[in-house]
A = this chain, B = another copy of it.
């Protein structure tokens, strides 16, 4: 008689992996603490809305990847979750190595998507778009820099590293926008960045 085939666990989504990673690396946390972590991050990609996080926690719990360690105790029924051994295995498998192609390939970029349409635009319109984008990214870069330096000053080495990743990516986008303006024969003011 063949052994009962255990249903293979479906691969974790990016959001599930990130949440599992938070629980694993920050220790016991409530769903609300997880939401705050996402909201504090400089990326706007995930809203980490209640409607995303609470059901996700429920799924992970039902799959036995996390379990309640204890309650917050403040009458609001908050639960502190931790990884189960199965959860830690799932997390390590999501982490890799090996890195799957979707982890390696270039992330999506709304600015790049918009530059794709430049064939439709006049030189003037291109200049208007790039000028506006460059100004906004410059301001945003300073925000990320402050965020990253604060993490470093607080001695949070991993958070510093993560912030640095966001900073490097933003720097690259900004330099690309300036390069695009040059290649298209547009004038741009070359601001001197005080870089990390």
Chain A interface (Cβ < 8 Å from any Cβ of B) = 14, 17-18, 21-22, 24-26, 42-46, 91, 94-99, 101-121, 128-129, 131-133, 136-137, 140, 144, 157-158, 161-162, 164-166, 168-173, 175-176, 179-180, 183-184
Counted per complex, copies of this chain come to 2
A97 touches B128 (CB 8 A): yes
Q: Which 3 A-B pairs have the closest CB atoms?
A: A172-B172, A97-B132, A21-B117
B102 touches A110 (CB 8 A): yes
Q: Which residues of chain B have C-beta atoms less than 8 A from A129's C-beta? A: 95-97
Query: At the interface, is chain A mostly helix, strand, loop or mixed?
Result: helix
Kindly state the separation between the CA atoms of A102 and B45 in the bound complex, as whole angstroms.
7
B115 touches A161 (CB 8 A): yes
Q: Which residues of chain B have C-beta atoms less than 8 A from A103's C-beta? A: 110-111, 114, 133
A104 touches B137 (CB 8 A): yes
Kindly state the separation between the CA atoms of A21 and B22 in the bound complex, as whole angstroms.
38
Residue of A43, A97, A103, A112 with most partner-chain B CB within 10 A: A112
A170 touches B106 (CB 8 A): yes
A136 touches B104 (CB 8 A): yes
Q: Which residues of chain B have C-beta atoms less than 8 A from A97's C-beta? A: 128-129, 131-133
Nearest CB of chain B from residue A188's CB, rounded to whole Å: 15
B158 touches A176 (CB 8 A): no
B109 touches A169 (CB 8 A): yes
Residues A109 and B107 in contact in the complex (CB < 8 Å), given A158-B119, A176-B168, A180-B161? yes
Kindly state the separation between the CA atoms of A153 and B175 in the bound complex, as whole angstroms.
22
Q: Which residues of chain B have C-beta atoms less than 8 A from A45's C-beta? A: 105, 107-108
Q: Which residues of chain B have C-beta atoms less than 8 A from A133's C-beta? A: 96-97, 99, 103-104
Q: Which residues of chain B have C-beta atoms less than 8 A from A136's C-beta? A: 98-99, 104
From B105, B111, B112, B115, contact of A140 by CB (8 A): B105
A18 touches B113 (CB 8 A): yes
